[in-house]
Amino acid sequence: MIDIVPIGLIIMNTRVVTAHIPNELAEQIDQLAARLDRPKGWIVKQALTSWVALEAKRHQLTLEGMADVDAGRLVDHASIDAWATSLDKPA
């Protein structure tokens, strides 16, 4: 079912999504909603929006990394190991 929810002058199409979540997570959502004085649905929407954006960024970075590999832009293990070891040395 798709609802049309007016938000100011913007009309947003929404859809109800259900998920089974652990009780502990549900309780944390309840506590956040109470503390922030926001509906639980708002808390869940904020969390999902952030997670989806993060996953999109991870995917983009993966594609960029794979393009670097395909183009031969690589750093050998010995160079990375030497760099990591240098981080432990005092300046």
pLDDT digits (tens, 9 = 90+) for 7-55: 666 667 889 999 999 999 999 999 999 999 999 999 999 999 999 999 9
pLDDT at 3 > cutoff 70:
no
Q: Tokens 């960024």, residue?
A: 57
Distance CA 51, CA 59 (A): 12
Q: Are 29 and 40 in contact (CB under 8 A)?
A: yes
Give the model's pLDDT for residue 5: 60
- Tell me the whole-structure pTM to 2 decimals: 0.70
Give the model's pLDDT for residue 89: 80
